[in-house]
Amino acid sequence: MANPYSILSFGEFYDGISHQSSLSSEAAGKLGASPHGALGYYLSTFTWGLGWVPSLAAVGGVVTIWRDDRLVGGVLVPTGVVFLAILSAETRYFGRWILPLFPIVCLLSAYFLVKLTTWAARLARPNSRWSQGVLIGAVAILALGQGMIYSVHSDLILSRPFTFALAHEWLVTHVPRGSRVVVEPEVPNSWLEYAPGSLERVAGRRYRWTKLPNLQTVGAGQSVRTINRENYERTLRPALIAYYELHRYCWVITFTSESGRALVTPAALPDAVAYYRELASQADFTYRVSPYNHRLNTEAFNFDWTFDYYPLGYERPGPEVIVYHLSRAGCGGSRVGHD
């Protein structure tokens, strides 16, 4: 109701709402989503999106506000419950979708913490404003500390080179011009056509590339079809590797933001898991750039963490990028050293 497009451009507003609604209610859900379901995922989101202390305090705030002010509690509490219930009924779920509920949770959390610290201060030293101030300050640090640490961490991560940029620089330095390259659908179409560190495109196409020529049939006919990124992992299978080699697509670039969606649900996507395993065993591993620091080699796939880099194990933004070189059939036997 507060969106100005609902009045100024109702057609565009309605189309956007309809599109979002159709995606969020798809029966198949989103590949790579948490197996714990929407409600469990949203509840866990509060522990890192807001923090453990304020999230637990908000539970106390529900009881406290309901006891102290039924009118205010009657507005805040049912609104939060209904909003969470509606989102939890959808088959798709992301941390950002629960953000409209955060202001209510913050109010409930703050109300409870102020009441708690005021009561504790009066119990310890009655009529002492100083003790109340110290206690409220200490509780504020506890409530905001987790968010402060991870906000600083995120800002530091975003100030460093993106893994896509580092991989792009390596590719244009080590992969011969004119090579045929398979790229997963995670980067813009022009990704390989820019000079490193520049906004200017190079003259002519550097590589003949494709975003994975998936086949409807492998063997006779070999028909190629356009893929939908949302269903990309459903189209993968080991037979594609032989197709790459036959048609001299000798360089294959993978991203954990794509492969992770298959590997986190292996039972649902056995062909995709077999494809990545076959690629790792049959191709030459030539380059990898990881977003993780030396203390942590990998993070379990999480849609939100893939893009907001919440875990402290992240050292730079972006997914892990791996470049493979195929050396059989039409690709010859040349190899590039590990980097």
The backbone region for 33, taken as left when phi is positive above 0, alpha when psi lies in -120 to 50, beta otherwise, is: beta
Q: For the segment 146-165, what is each residue's pLDDT rounded down to a tens digit?
A: 999 999 999 999 999 999 99
Locate all alpha helices (DSSP H) within the chain, ordered by sequence.
5-8, 10-24, 37-49, 52-68, 70-88, 102-124, 129-158, 163-174, 239-246, 256-263, 270-282, 303-308
Write phi, then psi, for 14 (nearest 5 degrees).
Answer: -65, -40
Specify whether 81 is located in the same domain as 230: no
Contact 55, 84 (CB under 8 A): no
**24 found inside a domain:** no
Last residue of a domain, one of 143, 158, 173: 158
Give residue 84's domain range: 35-158
Same domain, 174 and 275: yes
Domain co-membership, 189 together with 313: yes
pLDDT at 289: 92
Q: Is residue 282 part of a domain?
A: yes
pLDDT at 210: 53
Q: Report pLDDT for 220.
A: 32
Residue 44 lies in a domain: yes
Residues with Cβ within 8 Å of residue 277, at least 6 apart in sequence: none
Please give the backbone phi and psi of residue 52, each rounded to the nearest 5 degrees, phi first.
-65, -50
Burial of residue 44 (number of CB atoms within 10 Å: 0-12, 13-18, 19+): middle
For residues 177 and 284, the model is more confident at 284
Residue 147 and residue 78 in one domain: yes
Q: What is the pLDDT of residues 70-123, one digit of tens each?
A: 899 999 999 999 999 988 887 778 888 899 999 999 999 999 998 888 888 777
Q: What is the reported pLDDT for 234?
A: 84
pLDDT band at 324 (very low <50, low <70, confident <90, very high): very high
Domains identified in the chain, total number: 2
Do both 295 and 222 map to the same domain? yes
Q: Pick the last residue of a domain from 158, 182, 197.
A: 158
In a domain, 98, yes or no: yes
Residues 83, 123, single domain; the answer is yes
**229 vs 47, higher pLDDT:** 47
SS3 helix, strand, coil % of the chain, rounded to 5?
A: 55, 10, 35
Q: What is the DSSP letter of 202?
A: P
Same domain assignment for residues 169 and 262: yes
Residue that finishes a domain, picked among 138, 158, 178: 158
- pLDDT per residue as tens digits for the range 301-313: 888 888 889 998 8
